[in-house]
Amino acid sequence: MEYDKNDEVYSKVVRAGKRTYFFDVKATKGRDLYITMTESKKTFSDGKEYYQKHKIFLYKEDFEKFADGLTDVVSKIKELNATGEFKTDDHNNHEVENSDPIENFSEVSFEDL
C-alpha cells in the first residue's frame, strides 16, 4: 500500500462531554509515521454553533517520551485524587456521578507504531 503525504493510516475518536479528541496516525512520503492529536470543542456565540480546534503533531522520535510523560501525570492524578484533597467529580457534569474521571480516558499505545 502506498501513502501520499499526510495520508491517514489509523484514526481513533474519543468523545468526552463538550470535547472530542481525534488521534490520527499518518504517514509521510518517506513512510515515517507520526501522530496528530486534535481537540475539538463545541462553543456557541450569537446563537450559532462553532468548533474550536487545537492540534498537536507528535513525531516518532518523541513517542516514547510523550507516552512516559502522559503515563506519569495520569498516575499522579490518580494518586492525588486518592488523598481526597482534590475533587474527583467532573465539574462539567458529563461523567457519571461518583466515577473516577481518569478511568474514562482511552489508553493509547505507541508500541504498535
Question: Mind listing the domains of the chain with CATH numbers?
Answer: 7-104 (3.10.450.700)
Check whether 104 has a pLDDT greater than 70. Answer: no
Give me the pLDDT at residue 7, please.
84
| pTM listed for this prediction | 0.65
Distance CA 5, CA 32 (A): 10
Give me the pLDDT at residue 97, please.
43
> Quick check: 96 and 69 in contact, CB under 8 A?
no
Give the phi and the psi of residue 88 in degrees, each rounded to 5.
-110, -10
